Structure 1
Amino acid sequence: MIDVLVIGGGNAALCAALMAREAGASVLLLEAAPREWRGGNSQHTRNLRCMHDAPQDVLIEAYPEEEYWQDLLKVTGGLTDERLARLAIRASSSCRDWMRSHGVHFQPPLSGALHVARTNAFFMGGGKALVNAYFRSAEALGVQVRYNAPVDAIELDGERFVAARIGSERIAARSCVLAAGGFESNRAWLREAWGRNADGDWPADNFLIRGTRFNMGVLLKFMIEAGADAIGDPSQSHCVAIDARAPLYDGGICTRVDCVSLGVMLNRNAERFYDEGEDFWPKRYAIWGRLVAQQPGQIGYSIIDAKAMGRFMPPVFPGVRANTLPELARQLGLDDATFVRTIEQYNAACRVGTFDHTVLDDCHTEGIAPAKTHWARPIDTAPFFGYALRPGITFTYLGLKVNEHAAVHFGGKPSANLFVAGEMMAGNVLGKGYTAGVGMAIGTAFGRIAGTQAAAAALGRPSHDDIGEKQHATS
């Protein structure tokens, strides 16, 4: 019998498999996707948000625990478990050497992402390179890997794990780590979570899935129906406003359009609907998908002028370009009179001070709702550009409740040999909102905890209260 069964193939699953194997356990990892699509949403990531008290290799200055916590608290609106959040924050300060030992390399951020050089460590080659490095290391250490292996049921004895099932096949193990992702690719479940709008339409029908097509939530649904304690709102997710021309699945990070804070965002009625300059883009980009989802037809339009060009990471697809505002409106399919009136009202409300996109500057609007509190400059310099945006879901926040040992709970009682990591438990920390790189921080921290705990359970070793903190020390 295998010691530790890991279900999933992304960052959290791989961290768990590596930690369990390093602890001396035999490990089998089951990945639902074929080999060429392995890695779940982690293949689309590019960085890890890291706490640090002084400059470290690719990180500049300092990003102390309390600032990190306040950033997380702000974006979640308090919907977070502080103990678990701080555990992940502290773990982010000391995991990089362990990651390097398994073949992950880091690099300074590209010029378009210098605003996160203090807070985020970027993977050389992005998430795909990270996933590939982990798989190579896992296989070299003797972790068994099976692809095209979607688990659809778990056999339990009370709160204890007994076996996993793939159809009629039964796979027993002494302990198990669940890291199979959320349900963002399950259109029926998204419909159920979002319901119908006032017009009787299904908003979720207009969502794009910027992550993996294999996260159907089958295992998550099974566990909840089997009595595992759930946490989180099924309608909450990492939901970004992405280019409306993106593919239905696996568009990844390149579908993001990062110029929202440099211009205005309009809905289908050519009206503004939220403060585009509320805060720095890495702290606010993930609210815009949900905001657009609440607009008519689940579509929005980011409008900028020539002054904004060169100030944001260029998207893959060029924007619609025009020399006049009415021409731009017509190309975007918006009413040109309303469009021009909205832009002119915004321009008149701008109070331009010293524009600086790297700080919360004093360029703001007055006498208009919604206000734009920073980086407000008139849109008056041709050529003008527009990007049509739709909600792009990366991962959902509904998950399984855990403690600091990443144990799955049943009726408030933690399982002794069943653990969970990654998107399947991220809702413990992310009740709503997002800030760049925190998903990888959660997945890395709890993946490593889950793997350590699963190995201890399988090998009959004691589980110490402080293991969640100690195991993050440099290998």
Structure 2
Amino acid sequence: MVVLDHDVLVIGGGNAALCAALMAREAGAGVLLLEAAPKEWRGGNSAHTRNLRCMHDAPQDVLVGAYPKQEYWQDLLKVTEGQTNEHLARLIIRASSTCRDWMRRHGVHFQPALSGTLQVARTNAFFMGGGKALVNAYYRSAQRLGVALRYGSPVDRLEIGQGRFVAAHANGERIRAKACVLAAGGFESNRQWLRQAWGQNERGEWPTDNFLIRGTEYNQGVLLRHLLEEHGADRIGDATQAHMVAIDARAPLYGGGICTRIDCVSLGVVVNRNAQRFYDEGEDFWPKRYAIWGRLVAQQPGQMGYSIIDAKALGRFMPPVFPGVLAHTLEELAQKLGLDTAALMRTLNDYNAACRVGHFDHTALDDCHTESLRPAKTHWARPIDTAPFCAYALKPGVTFTYLGLRTDETAAVRFSDAPSQNLFVAGEMMAGNVLGKGYAAGVGMSIGTALGRIAGSNAARAAIRKEPQRASA
């Protein structure tokens, strides 16, 4: 069967895909969106998100203070350690300052800043009802505007001729369109590809066998691999780099989302199976550092870690869905965690003795630190000495992978460095252009929103045979 009555085909069902579909439809194009998941699981990883990182020079509605473009850029530069396309990154930063009114027009509501979240509310706008409410709002708007939606429609291959999109194949159908936007996510749910990318470590382990997937199980990377291997699309990124955080080891294999993340790391210490610390828990504010901990845990024996706090930390962090392991003594805690008691006591005694407690302030880079301890704890270092003691077992939780398709400010897919005239990419499939490594909270939604809107606009222009518009950085 050949479908001929759509100008723009959007492949994917999350934030970037929906932004593309809405922009293309607003530009007057007929749009068909194919979502691989069934309707009840629509939205991809975006359904598990909470916020969008936004540049602003002064307080704006739900954002407090100021978060100027240079600070945003420096934050991104720091977490990626320079592995980012500055031109594209600055474009996304600029776009983050102006997208909220457009989002509101499509039914997205934002949460006013709450007490206790002011540090994050300076940099991030939170969605009322979270990511699920956001994607539901976009789907309602898409239906109202006449975007055709098809669920349970995974695309397994594309027809491309001389860098131009011709047709897509889904559920045995051949679907043609004048332009196409790819926004089908990374390959984090493809266990075989993860194994292939990471290989075995020096201990003979396959680390990825112990990875949990925070989001959708439908991100198998089928189209990404197809574009790279069958059509020779230009690639960007390292297959082992990903948005990967430390989550509760009891989380499900797929779909655990935000509620399984462990956010008390900076308030205590983290040890591995050998009861040894392995990184500075207080290096920087948690929204800038939380996404390094999945990779850190992945490098430990058995891909396990244990976040340990005491009574002084309780109530100071967002509680996860599972309760922590409680104990009246540290020796009892070690036994409950299955750790060597003597080894854990040595680690904690050394840490406690090294703490130099000044003025504790978890909303600032305070002066509570350790001395003569490796690894050091740079901020928020206080002895773990007050019962009850609490711990969470950790595993790596993958959000999305960074290997993707190289693009530019037009969002065009590139073949031998030549941009396609009618095939565009947005979201996680191109995030590696901006995120070579590392992550800062809300950046993924900034990338998806900015490039999704650009891709949708340019796909509509291609469908009516206009030159793609080049957004300015």
Q: TM exceeds 0.5? A: yes
Matched, 1:463 2:468: yes
Q: Which sits farther off after the overlay, 176-185 or 196-205?
A: 196-205
Output the CA distance in 1 between the equivalents of 2:219 and 2:468.
31
In structure 1, the residue corresponding to 2:428 is in which secondary structure?
helix
One-letter code aligned to 1:274? Y
1:278 to 267, 283, 289: 283
Tell me what 1:427 maps to.
432
1:54 to 58, 69, 77: 58
Matched, 1:29 2:29: no
Tell me what 1:451 maps to.
456
Q: How do 1:377-396 residues align onto structure 2 when only pairs under 5 Å count?
A: 377-396=382-401
1:268 to 251, 270, 273: 273
One-letter code aligned to 2:130? G
Output the CA distance in 2 between the equivalents of 1:347 and 1:63.
36
Tell me what 1:202 maps to.
206
1:257 to 262, 272, 280: 262
Tell me what 1:246 maps to.
251
1:134 to 134, 138, 141: 138
Are the equivalent residues in 1 in contact too, given 2:421–2:468 (CA < 8 A)?
no
Tell me what 1:437 maps to.
442
One-letter code aligned to 2:271? L
Q: How do 1:15-94 residues align onto structure 2 when only pairs under 5 Å count?
A: 15-94=19-98
Tell me what 1:170 maps to.
174
Output the CA distance in 2 between the equivalents of 1:108 and 1:334.
43
Note the C-alpha offset of 1:406: 0.3
2:197 to 178, 188, 193: 193
Are the equivalent residues in 1 in contact too, given 2:31–2:148 (CA < 8 A)?
yes
Note the C-alpha offset of 1:113: 3.4
Matched, 1:315 2:345: no
| Residues 256 and 207 (structure 1), Cα distance of their counterparts in 2 relative to 1, 3 Å cut | same
Tell me what 1:355 maps to.
360
CA RMSD, 1 decimal: 0.9
Note the C-alpha offset of 1:201: 1.7
Tell me what 1:106 maps to.
110
Are the equivalent residues in 2 in contact too, given 1:112–1:312 (CA < 8 A)?
no
One-letter code aligned to 2:315? G
Note the C-alpha offset of 1:199: 2.2
Are the equivalent residues in 1 in contact too, given 2:325–2:391 (CA < 8 A)?
yes
Tell me what 1:330 maps to.
335
Note the C-alpha offset of 1:60: 0.4
Gaps of 5+ in 1: 470-475
Are the equivalent residues in 2 in contact too, given 1:355–1:375 (CA < 8 A)?
yes
TM-score under structure 2 normalisation?
0.98
Note the C-alpha offset of 1:317: 1.0
Note the C-alpha offset of 1:111: 4.4
Output the CA distance in 1 between the equivalents of 2:469 and 2:239.
33
1:287 to 273, 288, 292: 292
Q: Which deviations, in whole Å up to 9, do the C-alpha atoms of 1:247-283 show, x marking residues without a partner?
A: 1100000001100000000000000000000000000
One-letter code aligned to 1:368? L
Tell me what 1:472 maps to.
none
In structure 1, the residue corresponding to 2:413 is in which secondary structure?
strand
1:234 to 234, 239, 250: 239
Output the CA distance in 2 between the equivalents of 1:109 and 1:172.
45
In structure 1, the residue corresponding to 2:36 is in which secondary structure?
coil
Q: How do 1:150-169 residues align onto structure 2 when only pairs under 5 Å count?
A: 150-169=154-173
Matched, 1:372 2:371: no
Are the equivalent residues in 2 in contact too, given 1:416–1:457 (CA < 8 A)?
yes
Output the CA distance in 2 between the equivalents of 1:464 and 1:302.
48
One-letter code aligned to 2:233? A
Over the matched positions of the two proteins, sequence identity in percent amounts to 76
Note the C-alpha offset of 1:109: 4.2
The count of corresponding residues between Structure 1 and Structure 2 is 468
Tell me what 1:473 maps to.
none
Are the equivalent residues in 2 in contact too, given 1:25–1:458 (CA < 8 A)?
yes
Output the CA distance in 1 between the equivalents of 2:53 and 2:197.
29
Note the C-alpha offset of 1:316: 1.2
Tell me what 2:405 maps to.
400
Are the equivalent residues in 1 in contact too, given 2:17–2:426 (CA < 8 A)?
yes
One-letter code aligned to 1:197? N
TM-score under structure 1 normalisation?
0.97
In structure 2, the residue corresponding to 1:152 is in which secondary structure?
strand
Note the C-alpha offset of 1:112: 5.1
Are the equivalent residues in 2 in contact too, given 1:112–1:311 (CA < 8 A)?
no
Are the equivalent residues in 2 in contact too, given 1:265–1:303 (CA < 8 A)?
yes
Note the C-alpha offset of 1:464: 3.6
| Residues 373 and 431 (structure 1), Cα distance of their counterparts in 2 relative to 1, 3 Å cut | same
Output the CA distance in 2 between the equivalents of 1:367 and 1:116.
32
Note the C-alpha offset of 1:168: 3.0
| Residues 52 and 149 (structure 1), Cα distance of their counterparts in 2 relative to 1, 3 Å cut | same
Output the CA distance in 2 between the equivalents of 1:104 and 1:146.
22
In structure 2, the residue corresponding to 1:389 is in which secondary structure?
strand
1:342 to 344, 347, 351: 347
